[in-house]
Amino acid sequence: MKNSKAALITGASRGLGLALARELAHRGWMIIIDARGQDALEHARAELSVLTTVHGIVGDVAEHSHRRALVIAAKAAGGIDLLVNNASILGPSPQPPLLDYPIDVLEKVYRTNVIAPLALIQQVRPSLKLGARIINVTSDAGVEPYAGWGGYGSSKAALEQVSAILAAENPSLKIYWVDPGDMRTQMQQEAYPNEDISDRPLPEVNVPGFLELIDGELKSGRYVARQLVTTVAKA
């Protein structure tokens, strides 16, 4: 099977990452995915392999050796057209106030949600094809001061600024930071462990917005996935 395009999507064994990987697989893209859980990753890899070539790599994006394995896979694919930094961690569940937040855990949240995406961009840069897109998945918690979201929210705020500076420093690249909003995902349930989240939309509702960034020529910047299709249609 010949694949004309290739994507590297982190945290793609479930949720938004898997939803986006499914759509690209249906389009015939070669997909590189990773996750911390081996069983969930293998299940996703097996599903997607029916449609396209898939490489599943188990590991933690916060670890240099794992990021190196992803970079090797991207190079072996002949380069990538898309990097989606989707992997992130919530931190404690339920979320504690910042004055009670364990600093060692906060450091891990920052390593995973901020440092790892930047490090992966740095490491995979030689394998980015001409016109490649970089998408960093962020959150409204990165721009709104929600009580109880200080750890995760501040890490996403840092990712937003990292993304904005990368875009300013690299005008030849397409760099997007995208807010998918609340979704019916495992992380959302962890954030609200005692609540029924069945009213939240499934991650798939965000895929059309991401495709606008992947397929179109929108300038680098921050976008809200669910608003993107409507905004583009009105332009």
CATH code reported for the domain at 6-234: 3.40.50.720
Give the residue carrying structure tokens 């590189």: 32
Q: What was the pLDDT predicted at 4?
A: 86
Tokens of 235: 């332009």
pLDDT at 1 over 50: no
pLDDT at 186: 66
Mean pLDDT of 98-117: 97
Digit-coded pLDDT (tens) for 132-154: 999 999 999 899 998 988 999 99
| pLDDT at residue number 169 | 98
Rounded distance between C-alpha atoms, residue 26 and residue 130, angstroms: 23
Alpha-carbon gap, residue 47 to 18, rounded angstroms: 10
For the chain, what are the domain ranges? 6-234
Torsion region of 197: left, alpha or beta (phi above 0 gives left; psi -120 to 50 gives alpha): alpha
Q: Tens digits of per-residue pLDDT, 33-74?
A: 999 999 999 999 999 999 999 999 999 999 999 999 999 999
Average pLDDT, the chain: 92
Give the long-range contacts of residues 54-62, CB within 8 A, separation 24 or more: 54/25, 54/30, 55/30, 55/31, 57/32, 57/33, 58/34, 59/34, 60/36, 60/112, 61/10, 61/11, 61/34, 61/85, 61/87, 61/112, 61/116, 61/117, 61/120, 62/108, 62/111, 62/112, 62/115, 62/116
Nearest Cα residue to 214 out of 158, 175, 163, 170? 175
DSSP H helical segments within the chain, as ranges? 15-26, 38-49, 64-76, 103-110, 116-124, 150-169, 186-191, 207-215, 225-234
Whether this model's pTM surpasses 0.85: yes
Q: Confidence band (pLDDT; 50, 70, 90) for 103? A: very high
When pLDDT is averaged across residues 80-87 and rounded to a whole number, the result is: 98
Least confident range from 10-24, 38-52, 163-177, 193-207: namely 193-207
**Does residue 181 register a pLDDT over 80?**
no
